[in-house]
Chain A
Amino acid sequence: MFKEIVELFKQDVWKNNTILVQILGLCPTLAVTTTAVTALGLALTTTIVLVISNVTISMCRRIIIPEVRIPSYILIISTLVAVIEILMQTFMFTVYESMGIFISLIVTNCIIISHAEAYAMKHTPFMSFLDALFVGIGYTAILILVGSIREAIGFGTVFQGLNKLFGEYFADKYLVVLPADKTLIFAILPPGAFITIALIIALRNFLSRS
């Protein structure tokens, strides 16, 4: 059992990392990683939706009729996203605003639906919970990495605006990496996202060659 969990962790975080290896869910990844904080916000939201949906679908896996399983997943996922969106509007409005449409678009995130189909339908709720959690960890790590790199090059800071997520204590807790006149706007424009992710994928391929 323990060995299985460790293997699952390795699979989800490194060997089959959703972004770096499966190249899934790239649209929100490219769009919201302009700063580390928005990346973290979206990654956490996606992880929460992923965990709850995976567990729910796993629990319902004996009731869901195979012919209509995809509409059933969508129903469950969109309900969750709607709830989370309303909660964020109420309690974290600034974060909600900075992420814009990408919160609603979590519904269509391929990562969630692929793990519902490929994992949750075939495993126990507990294992599905772990799977979702590990995928979430892998996803969050990459998003923070991409977001930090782009923010560092584009704005010269890392984790500026953490107070929007975790309260006023973090208002000035950020790193200054580059002086303002040495920053490159390129990094926070769309091509910067593609090139950053491509370079990280290249690095991963380099590290994992046997």
Chain B
Amino acid sequence: MHRGASTQLIMFMVLVALLPAVIVHVISFGWGLVWNLFFCTIWASLLEAAVYKLRRRSPVAGLRDLSLQVTVWLYCLAIPPYLSLWMTLLGITFAVLLVKHAFGGLGQNTFNPAMAGFIFLLISVPSAMGGWVVPSTRNLEIYNPEYSLQMLLMDHSDIKKQMIIDTNNETLKKIKETDGATYATPLNNFRELFDYRGVVRYIDRDTSEISIESHGTAILATAYIAGGLFLIATGFINFIQPLFFILSVYLTGLIINMIGLKYGFNTVNNWEHLFIGSTMAGAFFIITDPVSSPTTAKGKALSAAIIGFFTVIIRTFGSYPDAIAFAALLGNSFNPVINKMLKPKRFGAGGRKA
């Protein structure tokens, strides 16, 4: 952060680091993401330009910092790839207008716009937001650009029906036997698997070979890790937040598992907490957002630990499929307190009295 990098450069590097995840996402879920990125970029840029015009600032200068682009990419990676287009655009509208600009624009927004937009959709249209396709290498053929576009323009009830038809019944059955992924997000499946007591294991199954079909979310998580490590190596994000976040998720998961086994409620295996849902995306790209995280290193560590703790708690006891977004927003709301509590001492203050 002390290398005098411009906002534009930082944001550009984040986009570069997100590329592996985007590629893996497209390979396992088809071309929906590309269309979402295309439409969201156009729409969000128009909105942001309008806001800058209203605030009597130059729209071109505002759009050039690429921060909007990062928001759009994270948002599109978070939502299901095949969602009615009006929902997708509504979510990004909420993120840009109310979460980013109503609080004062880049640098002033308390909450992470991408996650807030995602949550807006998650609690507005929960049934549509559960509609993920099964990760599969066939998806790239089935959901080709033309067909993906058709899907996006349908109503969400039709999209769901279509997705069930597209997923070959036999494949679906096989997948269900091996690792329990249906067309819903894998985290929904934990709830289905909770029929028996104990710790649910999701990734370590009997399948010996690693493929998108059996390890879809883990491969996506690896892509995020690769991008995140690249950002840390080049010095654009700090290692403190991912480290404390991952530690916190792992340890909280461990403790919850022990409590769960003793008192008989169901939990997710603590290792798997790290590779399911969007834990890794959260660790490297969401909680490291420089605007909506505390300023000091200690504050960053504390905030990351809080978010990790809430992620596991919300995952275990909450009713929505993924917890990172909720935990991240909850963590964001602690920032003012953390910033105040962990204010660095002024140089020379509190020394010996003469």
Q: Is B126 in contact with A186, judged by CB distance below 8 angstroms?
A: no
Is A181's CB under 8 angstroms from B156's CB? yes
User: What total of A-B pairs shows CB separation below 8 Å?
Assistant: 18
The 0/1 profile, CB within 8 Å of B marked 1, for residues 190-201 of chain A is 010001000000
Select one of B98, B126, B157 contacting A195, CB under 8 A: B98
Question: In the complex, A84 Cα to B86 Cα: how many Å?
Answer: 46
Given A181-B155, A181-B156, A181-B157, A186 contacting B123 (CB threshold 8 A):
yes
A86 to chain B, nearest CB (A): 38
Task: Classify the secondary structure of A's interface with B.
Answer: helix
Q: Mark B115-158, 1 if CB is under 8 A from A, else 0.
A: 00000100111100000000000000000000000000001110
> Which residues of chain B come closer than 8 Å to A186, judged between CB atoms?
120, 123-124
B212 to chain A minimum Cβ distance, whole angstroms, is 32
Q: How far is the CB of B278 from chain A (nearest CB, A)?
A: 21
Shortest Cβ distance from residue A197 to the other chain B in the assembled complex, whole angstroms: 13
Give the Cβ gap from A7 to chain B, nearest Cβ, in Å.
Answer: 34
Q: Which residues of B contact A187 (CB under 8 A)?
A: 124
For A8, the chain B residues whose CB sits under 8 A away are none
Complex CA–CA separation, A182 to B156 (angstroms): 9
Of A185, A191, A195, which is within 8 A of B125 by CB? Answer: A185
Contacts of B125 in A (CB 8 A): 184-185
Q: Can you name the residue of chain A whose Cβ is closest to the Cβ of B155? A: A181
Which residues of the other chain, A, contact B90 by a CB distance below 8 angstroms? 184
Q: Which residue of B lies closest to A189 (CB)?
A: B123
B84 → chain A, closest Cβ, in Å?
Answer: 9
The proximity string for B residues 262-299 relative to A, scoring 1 for CB distances below 8 Å and 0 otherwise, is 00000000000000000000000000000000000000
In contact, A184 and B98 (Cβ under 8 angstroms)? no
Residues of A within 8 A of B126 (CB): 185
Q: Please, how many angstroms separate the alpha-carbon atoms of A186 and B123 in the complex?
A: 6
Q: Provide the residues of chain A in CB contact with B155, threshold 8 Å.
A: 181
In the complex, what's the smallest C-beta–C-beta distance from A186 to chain B, in angstroms? 4
The digit string for A120-139, where 1 denotes a CB below 8 A from any CB of B, is 00000000000000000000
A184 to chain B minimum Cβ distance, whole angstroms, is: 4
Between-chain CB contacts (< 8 Å), 18 pairs: A181-B155, A181-B156, A181-B157, A182-B86, A184-B90, A184-B124, A184-B125, A185-B123, A185-B124, A185-B125, A185-B126, A186-B120, A186-B123, A186-B124, A187-B124, A189-B123, A191-B123, A195-B98
Other CB < 8 Å A-B pairs besides A184-B124, A195-B98, 6 of them? A185-B125, A185-B126, A186-B124, A187-B124, A189-B123, A191-B123
Sorted nearest first, the 9 A-B pairs with minimum C-beta distance are: A186-B124, A184-B124, A186-B123, A185-B124, A186-B120, A189-B123, A181-B155, A181-B157, A185-B123
